[in-house]
Amino acid sequence: MNKSAGQIERATRLCAVLATVVFISSALAYLYLDRVNVTRLDFWLIYDTCLTRSWLKSALLKYTSHSLFFPSFIWLADFHFFHGNQELLAFVGITLLCSSVALLLIPMWRDKMLELNGKIAATLILIVGNFWMGRSFVIAYGGFNCIYSLMMCGVALAFIWVPAMQTDSPRFWLAASLVIVGGFIASFSFSGGFACWPTLLLLAWCLRLPRRTFVLLVGAAFVAVVLFVMMPYRGAPLHAASEATISSRVLVQLEWLCQLVGTPVSYAAAAWYTRSSKLAASPLLSLWCGAAGLSLAGLVVFPKIVQRNLGKGRLELMGLALLSFSLFAIILVVIGRATLFRLDPGRISATWYFFWSALFWASLLMLTIHYCESRKWLTWPVLLGAVAIPIFAFPSHYQEGVRYRYIRFSAERAATSLINGACDTEKVKILFRSPDHVYRVAAQLRERRLDMFASGLQDWIGLRYTALFNGHQRAEGLKGSCRVQTLVRCDNGDAAARVVGWARRHKGQAPQTLAIVDPNGVICGVARSTSTNKCVNTVFFGNRFINSSFLGYIRNYDTRLQYSVHSADDKTVSIEVIPVQAQQSATR
């Protein structure tokens, strides 16, 4: 009997390790494949400020009630030394994300009181909670990932060192310094990081730390709040907290809190069903899931507050710390965004809040693992339960990975319109809610050769195609078709044509860059393809993407002229051309 139980335990342990490897491998693959390599969303506001102010002034501003002081130096350095390379930001963000998770895992793996099965199960849960693509609004875009992951690095640093702030500890002042530094990094990377201060006070209380620890933490938190209040806004703040508090009843805010906590569960469950959109949008399911989660959290946290008996086990410490931190952060969201939720209840289920609620559920499961550790008969059932979590989350993980591939391609098409100086609002709206703001900031990026303008494709327009690459041309076996899809306008007010089509070279390869020329051989626009490797397309995206499609624009479009397309890759222009078919139905 014991032999059979041991075999079951080893088999379950192997399944947990394989599940961890598969999940994190797929997540890293999606983060790499779905990385958005152009400026997007609120970074059009941030970059507008960075381009018109000094390093320090732009770093000290608050953006929509958030201080981005520490992460701002990442993109400021990128601006000044790497031409605003968004791909670099993506890799920095992924590195910071992995670092924050590693910081949380190290104490647990060094804990000699924790059995191997508990370590494996906790690692799996923490990996799923942090790398689930349901959080892709944050982690799939380099700039946001830098902000949130740097905040989590500061939080992890503070949580690791807070137990060392004992009176008899020889490393008290070192620990105190690192805890305060971590708290400041978290607070001034993103406003949600301020949730670390009440969390640190809660941990200090449960650990029975000396009075001077509380004095130091309260003093540091007070200084952080004062500095935050003194920092100027970039424009007016979105919504004042006092207005939000007055505008909503406590019971309504409690309902929002439950929905915010429970939405990831309903979202993950919805991915298993055909009519998933109705299930995912169900506020009732989110409400009950959130209420259950908060009830379980209360059963865990309140006894620790009353008894003040937080042990030396690092799994319990990290679980309680992350649970409290995520809960305090969600409460800050409810208070700070109450007016928005009242005006638009649909915002409660927005995926950008999954960053906090996924962390809440991961930490709650970590504490469950801790409490099951002392019961030997629960060893392999706990591992089996941990394996069930990535299985439950994987359909939504996959769907978000596919969805953000579409978003990446849409963003690159919008960037192509900006490179050509075409005002294609239909495409540009994926980048930011205000196309006019995008056009204005894009002009500054073009002037300084930043971001999508760093490669210099915009300089091709107006040149003869024979002047590219010192006139190097050869047969590429180019074939395909393209047509004018619709008419838009140029930045100078003239007509422009959006061209779509497909192209392949020898061996079925899709050209990445193409030049659109007029009958005189003058380049009047560029096109870029959105291709995906066949193997990658099959394994990660279920063959959902066409590998040879491209989109481009013709500036100063004249319906009387016949335009053609050359491939322009590998410092070579193709001899073959693809004629552009005019569409009489195209309208401005």
For residues 291-319, average pLDDT: 90
**Residue 537 φ/ψ, nearest 5 degrees:** -60, -35
CB 430 within 8 A of CB 407: yes
Is a pLDDT exceeding 80 seen at residue 319?
yes
Question: Distance (Å, rounded) from C-alpha 153 to C-alpha 100?
Answer: 5
479-489 as b/e: b if 16+ CB within 10 A:
ebebebebbbb
- Which amino acid would we find at residue 438? V
pLDDT value, residue 508:
77
Give the pLDDT band (50/70/90) at residue 236.
low
Question: Distance (Å, rounded) from C-alpha 146 to C-alpha 91?
Answer: 9
Give the pLDDT band (50/70/90) at residue 244.
very low
Q: What is the DSSP letter of 510?
A: P
pLDDT value, residue 74:
95
Pair of tokens at residue 435: 């196309």
CB 573 within 8 A of CB 472: yes
Q: Which domains does the chain have, with CATH numbers?
A: 2-409 (no CATH), 457-581 (2.60.40)
Q: Between helices 86-110 and 2-33, what is the axis angle to 10°?
A: 160
| Higher local confidence (pLDDT), 280 or 186 | 186
3-state secondary structure of 256: helix
Strands 66-67 vs 479-490: parallel, antiparallel or unpaired:
unpaired
Beta bridge partners of 555: 496
pLDDT value, residue 88:
94
pLDDT value, residue 248:
46
User: Which range among 157-166, 238-247, 431-440, 441-450 shows the weakest confidence by mean pLDDT?
Assistant: 238-247
> Model confidence over 246-301: pLDDT tens digits?
444 788 889 999 999 999 999 999 888 865 554 555 678 889 999 999 999 999 89
Q: CA of 114: how far to CAs of 111, 120, 369, 372, in Å? A: 6, 10, 10, 11
3-state secondary structure of 65: coil
User: Which range among 24-28, 112-116, 514-518, 526-530 shows the weakest confidence by mean pLDDT?
Assistant: 112-116
Residue among 315, 333, 360, 354 nearest 159 (CA) = 315
Question: Distance (Å, rounded) from C-alpha 363 to C-alpha 124?
Answer: 12
For residues 105-129, average pLDDT: 91
User: 409 CB contacts (<8 Å, ≥6 apart)?
Assistant: 530, 545
Q: What is the DSSP letter of 114?
A: S
Q: DSSP assignment of 138-190, as one string? A: HHTSHHHHHHHHHHHHHHHHHHHHGGG--TT-TTHHHHHHHHHHHHHHHHTT-
Report the share of the chain in percent with pLDDT over 70.
Answer: 94
pLDDT value, residue 340:
83
> For all residues of the chain together, what is the average pLDDT?
89
pLDDT value, residue 452:
93
The count of other CB atoms within 10 Å of the CB of residue 253 is: 18
CB 340 within 8 A of CB 237: no
Is a pLDDT exceeding 70 seen at residue 206?
yes
The count of other CB atoms within 10 Å of the CB of residue 204 is: 22
